Structure 1
Amino acid sequence: MSKGEDTRRRMIAAAAEMLERSGYAGAGIQELLEAGKAPRGSLYFHFPGGKEQLAVEALQVSASEVTRLLDAHLATERGLVAGLRRALATLADRAEASGFEKGCPVSAVVLSSGATPEPVRAAAAEALRAWQQLLTERLRAEGLTPTESRRRAALLLSSIEGALLLMRAHRSRAPVEELSKELERLLSLD
């Protein structure tokens, strides 16, 4: 990897971390550069669209990581509920390791959407749409109709996002653990 590629990668990783913790408005340019160990001129060199472009790319990377996590757990566990429980436990472990500063990598951006440029908000919305689609497809594989799969995927994603938000607010993994216990009933897949 070239020095320029390494700088770009570090900047994206730092931006993803800051966006998850503080939202778009809370991620200042100077803090992004310092966290990414990048000189001032490198922001516009690597991201001609500035902070907005960096934020979009960071959200896309974060969303891909969560998608891979969901895919991996849903593919390796026996049954949808077991896969979701494992994914929730992994997200709770990650949050706990960060002192509950982390939860969903896009929620802080969505929650501060009034101060967030449209392309950044749209990237966050696309991540949520992709996760809902993944859940919809998995529910279809469980034998549900397309309409029922979409309905339950929306309910499930809303429940997961809510549990992650409550986990951060209460600085406790309890909301995620409670959701994990209720998944079978929530999905009525027993």
Structure 2
Amino acid sequence: MEILTYPSPILRRPTRPVEPGSREARDVADALRAAFAEIEAHGLAANQIGLPVRAALVRLGDEEWVFFNPEIIARSEELEVEWEGCLSLPGVEAEVPRAKEVVVRALDEAGAPVELHLSELEARILQHEVDHLDGELYVDLLPKDERRRVLAEFRAACAQREKRASSLE
């Protein structure tokens, strides 16, 4: 399954809730797992594969979880600035400020409520994926000049990929 890239409009639209246990939820979970098996990443939001529902697959420690309708209910005031990239903006990274700790509420695949208290990398992963589900990208958290620089770098990388691809035809 193809990962959608910027500026695909679906990446900018907030997703809608999904009912765990429903046929749609099972199909979304299967699609997320299939796509995730083909990539190297910490997480994947459903809208990144064209499904406009509030679901994400994340790797926490050694386990992969599919969460439905996740929401961040608390964030620490303390921020960490770390390098971050995104499958939907391949080839570019930036230093992104995020809360060091978060509390996330979601439903698991069986529909059971889950409340996660996460810190550092795991907190960053969930914040990144929830942002996707809200129609936001990590570049939205950057100062205007840095956002412009990263998007210009992304466009240049895309142009290079297209040039290489056309020379192979």
Normalising by structure 2, report the TM-score: 0.29
Normalising by structure 1, report the TM-score: 0.27
Q: Which has the higher strand share?
A: 2
Q: Which has the higher helix share?
A: 1
